[in-house]
A = this chain, B = another copy of it.
């Protein structure tokens, strides 16, 4: 039975259902409970924006507050995963990964290969991405390309309440380390979400809107910017296919290449900064594998090569907008 719930509620529900189903699922992170050690309420926060709120009441010590020691507790999640648990570890903002990245890319991601195939590290790292909160340069980044680059990691960038639930359940059941990137601006987005548990497989892109003139590939929040642009463009008779890869690693090449075969044109929208990002990654892929199909250069709509500015006017300019996508699409469609 589907009801309308928010992206945030869908995450909470996925965690809840998996914790109920599997005792080895545990949660850890800063204030994922909140109130530990204090004389006030326990379960005070449920994470900085309240995503895990209520789980402590149900699962007690299986959800654990941590000190502000990301390398310590992310590493502990990794170590617990190799020892038979399925930890879901919250890295509050993806921006903080700089203090704990080693435990992710040198440890979790490499164990299986370095150890000759013998290790299993079923850890999920949930983390917030994205600009739009006036949270400035150190709380607004989209660093998923950095994780996508790392062999051994799987990377998920869910764009809707429905997807976030199914993908998170899949992530928890997956036996490889997964970086799960939640866009903070989407937390309040509502959508139809089945009550029962379900999974969405990794590496299967979602054709969010069908169209014939051009393929727009967009991730996370950018899916909605792309859809907005597509709606406007439709009025001018430009028919956009919008594809959400959902996971950047593994990556569904086929769905995209099929679409390009039909449209011959592509725009890629990525909230990450422009160098070595998903836009370049996907563009290079298309350029190589669909060269003969391409009728126009692939445009990339991304954040600029700058830190995220605090000021709202600047931040709004920083984020790829429907208008910028529209312009890129028009340019691509008009290319002859």
Most buried by B among A110, A284, A288, A307: A284
Copies in the complex: 2
Report if A58 contacts B (CB, 8 A). no
CB distance from A138 to the nearest CB of B (A): 5
Report if A97 contacts B (CB, 8 A). yes
In the bound complex, CA of A151 to CA of B138 (Å): 13
B280 and A284 contacting across the interface, CB-CB below 8 Å: yes
Report if A145 contacts B (CB, 8 A). yes
Report if A278 contacts B (CB, 8 A). yes
Binds B, one of A80-88, A121-129, A294-302: A294-302
Q: Choose among B151, B280, B307 the residue that contacts A280 (Cβ–Cβ < 8 A).
A: B280
Q: In the complex, what residue of chain B is closest to A98 when comparing beta carbons?
A: B102
Q: In the complex, what residue of chain B is closest to A299 when comparing beta carbons?
A: B288
Report if A285 contacts B (CB, 8 A). yes
In the bound complex, CA of A73 to CA of B316 (Å): 36
Most buried by B among A251, A294, A297, A299: A297
Report if A113 contacts B (CB, 8 A). yes
In the bound complex, CA of A304 to CA of B149 (Å): 11
CB distance from A305 to the nearest CB of B (A): 5
Chain A window 286-320, contacts with chain B (Cβ cutoff 8 Å), 1 for yes, 0 for no? 01110100101111100011110110000000000
Q: In the complex, what residue of chain B is closest to A251 when comparing beta carbons?
A: B275
In the bound complex, CA of A150 to CA of B146 (Å): 10
In the bound complex, CA of A232 to CA of B148 (Å): 35
- Taking CB atoms, residues of chain B closer than 8 Å to A310 are 114
Q: When A110-B137, A110-B138, A138-B110 are in contact, do A284 and B307 touch as well, CB less than 8 Å?
A: no
Q: Choose among B103, B275, B279, B287 the residue that contacts A298 (Cβ–Cβ < 8 A).
A: B287
Chain A window 133-153, contacts with chain B (Cβ cutoff 8 Å), 1 for yes, 0 for no? 000111000000110111110
Residues of chain A touching chain B, judged by Cβ–Cβ distance below 8 Å, are 71, 95-106, 109-110, 113-114, 136-138, 145-146, 148-152, 248-249, 251, 272-273, 275-281, 283-285, 287-289, 291, 294, 296-300, 304-307, 309-310
- Taking A98-B101, A280-B281 as known contacts, 13 extra A-B pairs with beta carbons closer than 8 A to each other, sorted by chain A number, are A109-B307, A113-B309, A114-B310, A151-B305, A151-B306, A251-B275, A276-B278, A276-B280, A279-B284, A280-B283, A284-B284, A288-B298, A291-B294
- Sorted nearest first, the 4 A-B pairs with minimum C-beta distance are A98-B102, A291-B297, A280-B284, A283-B284
